[in-house]
């Protein structure tokens, strides 16, 4: 028997809330009953403390208290039979791919239309913060190292341009030799200062990188990969939303202050 099959996994941060769970339940139930009228939807729920249960009632899941010491870790939607028409959607809070689904059946058009409906609903469940979960540590290290290299290069180029004008403006050979001698003396005097500046830059960059690495776990808590916004975690989700807004405004204000300060210093 010809059988179509499509499976997808997503690494986008996702908020699993009541509205979208009900909509997804309607989509999966409606699609599977088109082909299998007596099909039964079942839900598997797993918690962080290792407990789990299976139910055919979505309301039972939505009624969970979902406290911090026993948070929901995984919810599976399944309907149909693997030998015929089958749909499985999974949400996990402890995986790099918090959302996945598996749709299969003899009817290829049914499979792709079902996947399109599921994709549309999942797109409404996405949350910000994907960049914080993709090679963040290595990315921050590379950015910091690149910044130090650019700062050092810019300082060296500025020094060469500034002090090279004296050599290029000299007309006679004697003037050029005298200018070169002066530049050598200046380079010897400035060399120690540049080395000290480079050392301070490296130390400062290391401190910044260390601070950022300490901040990363907190940022990841602020931008979790998957949030089951049910019960107690719904309140925490609203708190994270407010914290993200405050963080955004803080970054914008800090950026504006830096621009204004740089402008005022440059006018002096």
Q: Do 108 and 137 fall into the same domain? A: no
Q: Are residues 136 and 118 in the same domain?
A: no
Q: What is the pTM of this model?
A: 0.61
- The answer to whether residue 256 is domain-embedded is no
Mark whether 159 and 212 lie in a shared domain: yes
Asked if residue 179 is part of any domain, the answer here is: yes
Average of per-residue pLDDT across 249-267: 68
- What is the predicted pLDDT for the residue at 172? 64
Query: Structural domain tally of the chain?
Result: 2
In a domain, residue 265? The reply is no
- For the segment 183-216, what is each residue's pLDDT rounded down to a tens digit? 676 666 666 666 666 666 666 666 666 666 666 6
Comparing 107 with 246, the larger pLDDT belongs to 107
**Banded model confidence at residue 177, pLDDT cuts 50, 70, 90:** low
Q: What's the chain's average pLDDT?
A: 75
Residue range 31-75, pLDDT digits in tens: 999 998 888 889 999 998 989 999 999 999 999 998 888 889 999
Could you tell me the residue range of the domain that residue 70 belongs to? 4-129
Task: Count other C-beta atoms under 10 Å from residue 36's C-beta.
Answer: 16
Distance of alpha carbon 33 from alpha carbon 230, whole angstroms: 28
Q: Is residue 23 part of a domain?
A: yes
What is the maximal distance between C-alpha atoms in the chain?
Answer: 101
93 and 161 inside one domain: no
- For the stretch 50-89, what's the b/e string if a residue is b when 16 or more beta carbons lie within 10 angstroms of its beta carbon? eeeeeeeebeebeebebeeeebbbbbbbbbbeeeebbbbb
For 217-224, the CB contacts below 8 A with 24+ separation are 219/129, 219/132, 220/129, 220/132, 220/133, 222/129, 222/247, 223/13, 223/127, 223/128, 223/129, 223/132, 223/133, 224/13, 224/93, 224/129
Can you give the pLDDT at residue 208?
A: 62
Which of 94, 109, 129 is the C-terminal boundary of a domain? 129
More confident residue, 20 or 144: 20
**Mean per-residue pLDDT, 152-171:** 52
The domain that holds 61 is classified in CATH as 3.30.1220
Angle (CA) 246-243-9 rounded to 5° is: 120
């Amino acid at each position: 028997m010809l059988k179509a099959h499509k499976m997808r996994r997503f690494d986008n941060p996702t908020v699993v809330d009541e509205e979208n769970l009900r909509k997804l339940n309607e989509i999966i139930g409606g699609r599977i009953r088109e082909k299998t009228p007596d099909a039964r939807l079942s839900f598997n729920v797993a918690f962080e403390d290792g407990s789990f249960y299976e139910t055919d009632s979505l309301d039972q899941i939505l009624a969970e208290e979902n406290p911090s010491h026993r948070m929901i870790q995984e919810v599976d939607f399944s309907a149909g039979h693997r030998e015929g028409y089958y749909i499985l959607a999974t949400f996990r809070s402890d995986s790099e791919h918090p959302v996945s689904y598996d749709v299969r059946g003899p009817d290829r058009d049914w499979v792709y239309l079902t996947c399109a409906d599921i994709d549309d609903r999942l797109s409404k469940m996405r949350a910000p913060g994907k960049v914080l979960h993709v090679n963040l540590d290595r990315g921050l290290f590379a950015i910091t190292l690149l910044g130090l290299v650019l700062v050092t290069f810019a300082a060296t180029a500025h020094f060469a341009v500034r002090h090279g004008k004296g050599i290029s403006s000299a007309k006679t050979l004697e003037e050029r030799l005298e200018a070169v001698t002066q530049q050598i003396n200046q380079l010897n005097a400035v060399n120690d200062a540049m080395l000290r500046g480079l050392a301070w830059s490296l130390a400062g960059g290391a401190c910044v990188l260390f601070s950022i690495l300490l901040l990363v776990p907190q940022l990841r808590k602020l931008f979790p990969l998957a949030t089951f916004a049910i019960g107690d975690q719904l309140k925490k989700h609203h708190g994270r939303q407010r914290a993200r807004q405050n963080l955004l405004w803080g970054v914008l204000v800090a950026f504006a202050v830096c621009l204004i300060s740089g402008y005022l210093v440059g006018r002096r």
